[in-house]
Amino acid sequence: MTLTRRYLVVTALALWLGGFTFYAAVVVPVGTDRLGRTGQGFITRDVTAWLNLVGLAALVPLGWDAWSAGRRGRPMRLVLWLVLAATLAVLAALHPRLVELLDDATEHVQDRRSFLFLHKTYLWVSTGQWAAGLLHLALTLRDWRRADQTP
């Protein structure tokens, strides 16, 4: 069961954090060069909905593994799990508000000032989530190493 749980954790983090990292570092700049900021924004609208669903699914094995970590590793990983869940909830709440400001018919932003504020907030929360996920990964690897060394 340990191997299965660890496999699910690695797969979940690779898809969620890896997908986010690749999208932010490669797809957004390339898409912006090709389509402009607004065109890329319409693609991002759809991709971020999927990233949030992947994040929701990833919380299951991450929570299971954190709970299984034992008293030494459990508290901090569970706190980070709560941070990941909370940031995901904030992103899920912000996403529809951003979508409402995008006009599909004209492919323009309806209220640019509101959109920019909400978008900046979304980016900061996403960055915090990504950092918490990376820290969660580091602590997970530490705890796995400890568990493997314990007779």
pLDDT digits (tens, 9 = 90+) for 55-97: 999 999 999 999 988 777 689 999 999 999 999 999 999 999 9
> Could you tell me the pTM of the whole model?
0.90
Q: How many CA atoms lie within 13 A of 11 on its CB side?
A: 9
Strand partners, 103: 108
At residue 1, the pLDDT reads 86
Rg (CA), the chain: 18
Measured CA to CA, the distance from residue 25 to residue 23 in angstroms comes to: 6
For the cut 80, the answer to whether the pLDDT of residue 151 exceeds it is no
Measured CA to CA, the distance from residue 1 to residue 41 in angstroms comes to: 42
At residue 69, the pLDDT reads 81
Domain that holds residue 115: 2-149
Count of domains observed in the chain: 1
The residues near 73 (Cβ < 8 Å, ≥ 6 apart) are: 66, 139, 142, 143, 146
